[in-house]
Amino acid sequence: MSRLRAVVPTDAVRALPDERRVYASDGQMLHPGVPDVVVLPRTTAEVVAVLRVAAELGAPVVPRGAGTGLSGGAVASHGGVLLGTSRMRGILALDPVERRARVQPGVVNADLGRAAARHGLRFAPDPSSQAACTVGGNVAENSGGPHTLRLGVTAHHVTGVVLVTSDAEIHRLGNCGDDDAPWSDALAALVVGSEGLFGVVTEIDVRLVPEPECVRTFLASYVSVEAAGRAVAAVMACGTVPAAVELMDALAVRAVESHARAGFPQDAGAVLLVELEGGREEVEAEEVPVLAALRSAGALEARRAVDDAERARMWKGRKEALGALGKICRAYYTHDGVVPVSRVPEALAAMSAIAARHGLRLASVSHAGDGNLHPLLLFDRADAEELARGAAAGREILEMCLALGGSLTGEHGVGSEKRELLAAQFDAPTRGLFERLREAFDPGRRMNPGKVFPDGAACGETGLAAGAKPARGWL
Amino acid sequence: MVECVRDAAAGRRRIRVRGAGTVARPPSPEAIDLSLAGLSGLHDLRPGDLVATADAGTPLEHLAGALGAHGLRFPLRPPDPAWRGTVGAVFAAAADGLAAREGWRAGDVLLGARAVLGTGEAVAVGAGVLKSVAGFEVCRLLTGSRGTLAAITRVTFRVEAVPPASRTLLGTFAEAQDARRAIRAADALPMAPRALVGRAQAGDHRVLVLLEGPGAAVDAAATRLADHGLADCDPEVLAAWTREGCGDGWCTGPSSRGDPFATRRPDASDYRVDVLRGRFAAHVPQSRSSAPPNALFERVRAAFDPGGVYEAGRGYGAR
């Protein structure tokens, strides 16, 4: 502790038990882990100093943004140093002509959005947690959000990073580097989605996109999630890529209406929120086939938001769905599987059946346009047996997604939550490549141990260098 | 393929990977010339998912035919129609071309890949769906690697619907400032142009704009640009410019890399865009040679090819 306090301001070090327990969980609260110490640096130099101390002590380091992640990726499951970026929240530069910004990792996604909006620009990745999540967290998980269907996920919008690796070396990559080098750009791209295993990102160079001239938002309701799923496939097949296609089932809709009064029909089996954006003539032309596609799947109703206020209410309802569901159950377990868009109807039906077989309620809130499903299994956290059924159902859902040709995770990351299933998606040689890439950045495997890779050999998986003391032994 | 790589590794030989050879330079005399042209075929096409999978040696013109039958197309247009490049080479060379949608370059279009590492191991990275964050972003690393990390054998990529309408506009200006005004106008369109390219050639300044989308939107945009001296031209002009590069003139295009916080170098070897500041750089579609890779990159490279089986020197630079 004294060594950390010698390199960062005293108030940046949190060591009391109550202070550390605040960081025990992230948005996935099932497997907490209390760090041995929390450090909140403000600059790249302070991050370097912290990592140098951690390296000397052989301590694991867990980078953490706002702690909104849903895969346990920001939890100190092996103790050690939790390095929070909440004090690194400067927008270092914003160039509206070049449509670029350079930010520290602790900048809240929505704050960057507001800064960009003053210039008619926006940062495209818009996770539902954007009011709290950080750009650094977006980089770690390669975050998506509803509007990344047309504009792309975080990786499409990051052009450079400053990365401090576990050996306290600074790497300026991509646009953050001095060299116009393809290999530097490639390394910057590789860092996105590395879930904190490659180092601590201390600066991010991002691309901003113009706000569209015209936005139209449509709400369609269906008798069932399967029918809504067929509508999703029909919309995606009509030749237009919407800005967003979001699906909510009846349980989610009722929860949202009791919480946010978004104007969703409470008697529907499912609703779709579809948004088009672009030039006015472009959107007006695309509206016709999209509405036809929505109606072709038997929409009970398909209407357009009459004004910005109604549009805002619809999106408030969608983005607050998880919070709304939290009010009707003691806990829920959110998954993030992806299936091919054409198989969304089948996947939705399968998810319902899996939940029913395990005696659990299921709510579905999904980025259905790219097949990214978010089934929420509702359970009583105080009931260990129900929790176990939830875990089993969640695993079956992810296995189902893989069986349909999908992926374990569309935006939440593997974290600790899904690491045991990594082998279900990637074969041994591929996992071996991932492991070697991790070791290329962090030979001692001290960065964010217990994440992405399943438990295997003892020392490697605890992230300790050979001969180093166990994490809790260095205090 | 696997056997070839393992034999090469065992015999301490180097391998130079190529597709149809349209991008690669000839291998060094001592290297094995490994052509993937025989790994050809559309493996899977899911029109409703906007995803296709093809073996790396599949010629783009064959792909175009298969996709076209479903009203789809490959999102990147690095070749002109006469180019016989392979789909694998497009990604291996990051050959985005001049009509890549901003934010959807080669590394963004590639969803998954199979490749043979220098160890002889066959890996499968990415996924077969539009969105996945499982595993590291190895596809982005392979894009532009030019066969120096691994031999890409199969690619899964995003496809797109053929737009209802397309118009190619060209303006020729005696004064650079008029060309810049035209570029600014195109850049400010509510419907983003699919291509926006400028070129100084033979004493004049030319601006080419490709508009794609619903007919009414394309026509409305073209009408706006007519006020800035842009008029319909043969769509082959874009293909010709792609084929020719930009010679010794300036060229704008999809920005491969912007750097707003440092002074731009008006260097002919610099492929950058600075449209609205009116400074331009030459278009260089070939691999850029610049600062040699650092130790971190070499460790990353070693993760793919610890024995140095794949010949380096292109893409990411020499060992």
- Chain A residues with CB under 8 Å of B129 CB are 338-340, 370-371, 405-407, 410
- pLDDT > 80? residue B80: no
Name the DSSP class of B255. Answer: -
Rounded to an integer, the average pLDDT of B118-146 is: 95
Residue with tokens 């001239």: A213
Predicted local distance difference test score (pLDDT) of residue A218? 96
What DSSP character marks residue A468? P
Tokens of A300: 């009970």
Q: Contact A369/A12 with Cβ under 8 angstroms?
A: no
For chain A, give the percent of residues with pLDDT over 70. Answer: 95
Mean pLDDT of B191-207: 82
* Nearest one of A40, A128, A33, A107 to A73, comparing CA atoms: A33
CA neighbor of A251 nearest in space, from A336, A347, A351, A338: A351
Q: Which two tokens stand for residue A411?
A: 């935006």
**Predicted pLDDT of residue B253:** 52
Question: What single DSSP character describes residue B278?
Answer: T
- Write out chain A residues lying below 8 Å of B288, CB-based: 180-182
CB contact under 8 A, A209 and B103: yes
Q: Which residue has the higher pLDDT, A226 or B126?
A: B126
Contact flag A341-B130 (C-beta cutoff 8 Å) = yes
- What is the per-residue pLDDT across B239-288, written as a single tens digit (0 to 9) for each? 887 777 654 444 555 443 333 222 233 333 333 333 322 222 333 334 44
Q: What is the mean pLDDT of chain A?
A: 91
Element (H, E) at A84: strand A81-84
Q: Which residue of chain A has the CA closest to B319?
A: A183
pLDDT at A473: 32
Percent of chain B with pLDDT over 70: 79
- For chain A, the distance separating the N- and C-terminal CA atoms, rounded to the nearest angstrom, is 7
Q: Which two tokens stand for residue B282?
A: 């030459």
Angstrom CA distances, A325 to A252, A322, B14, B240, stand at 7, 5, 58, 57
Q: Which of B197, B112, B214, B107 is nearest to B162 (CA)?
A: B214
A365-418: per-residue pLDDT in tens?
999 999 999 999 988 878 889 888 999 999 999 999 999 999 999 999 999 999
Per DSSP, helices labelled H in A280-427 are 280-296, 308-319, 321-325, 344-357, 384-403, 422-425
Neighbours of A458 (CB within 10 A): 8
Band of residue B292 on the pLDDT scale cut at 50, 70, 90: confident
> Any CB–CB contact under 8 A between B295 and chain A?
no
In angstroms, the CA A344 to CA B274 distance is 42
Which residue type sits at B117?
Answer: L
Containing H/E element for B218?
A: helix B215-226
Q: Choose the closest CB to B130 out of A102, A184, A370.
A: A370
Q: Is the pLDDT of residue B301 over 60?
A: yes
Which tens digit of pLDDT belongs to each residue from A108-132?
A: 999 999 999 999 999 999 998 999 9
Return the pLDDT at A71. Answer: 92
Q: Which of B123, B131, B137, B273 to mutate to test the interface with A (most CBs of A within 10 A)?
A: B131
At B26, is the pLDDT very low, low, confident or very high (cuts 50, 70, 90)?
Answer: low
Q: Among partner residues A97, A425, A433, which is closest to B117 by beta-carbon distance? A: A433
B contact residues 53-82, partner A, Cβ 8 Å cutoff = 71
CA–CA separation, B197 vs A67, rounded Å? Answer: 43
Q: Convert the pLDDT of each residue in B90-112 to its tens digit.
A: 899 888 777 777 778 889 999 99
Which B residues in the span 225-284 are in contact with A, Cβ-Cβ below 8 Å? Answer: 257-261, 270, 274, 276-277
Measured CA to CA in angstroms, residue B66 lies from A290, B44, B74, B232 at distances of: 25, 11, 10, 29
Q: Which residues pair with A362 in a beta bridge?
A: A377
Contacts of A412 in chain B (CB under 8 A): 133
- Name the phi and psi angles at B244, rounded to 5: -85, -15
The larger pLDDT score, comparing residue B18 to residue A129, is at A129
Nearest to B315 among A152, A182, A286 (CB): A182
Residues of B in contact with A210 (CB under 8 A): 192
A59: nearest Cα among A346, A407, A475:
A475
Model confidence pLDDT, tens digit, residues A206-224: 999 999 999 999 999 999 9
- In chain B, residues with a C-beta closer than 8 Å to the C-beta of A441 are 296, 299-300
Q: What is the pLDDT of residues A86-98, one digit of tens each?
A: 999 999 999 887 7
Would the CB atoms of B133 and A439 count as touching at under 8 Å?
no
Per-residue pLDDT tens for A14-23? 999 999 999 9
Token output for B126:
């990415």
| pLDDT score at B284 | 35
The model's pTM = 0.91
Q: How many Cα atoms sit within 13 Å of B121 on the Cβ side?
A: 18
Please tell me which of the candidates A97, A100, A370 has its beta carbon nearest to residue B131.
A370
pLDDT at position A58 over 90: yes
How far is Cα of residue B281 from the mean position of the Cα atoms in its chain? 18
pLDDT digits (tens, 9 = 90+) for A287-306: 999 999 999 989 999 999 99
Residue of A nearest to B275 (CA): A98
Mean pLDDT of chain B: 81
Q: Residue A380 and residue B32: Cα distance in Å, rounded? A: 62
B178-181, long-range: CB within 8 Å, 24+ apart, which pairs? B178/B205, B178/B229, B179/B205, B179/B206, B179/B207, B180/B275, B180/B278, B181/B228
Give me the residues paired with residue B243 across strands. Answer: none
Q: What percent of chain A has pLDDT over 90?
A: 76
The pLDDT of residue B265: 33
Q: Answer with the residue of higher pLDDT: B316 or B289.
A: B316
Question: Residue A465 above 80 pLDDT?
Answer: no
Q: How far apart are CA B313 and CA B146, in angstroms?
A: 9
For B:166-185, CB contacts with A below 8 A are none
User: Hey, what are A427's tokens?
Assistant: 């074969």
Supply the pLDDT for residue A45: 98
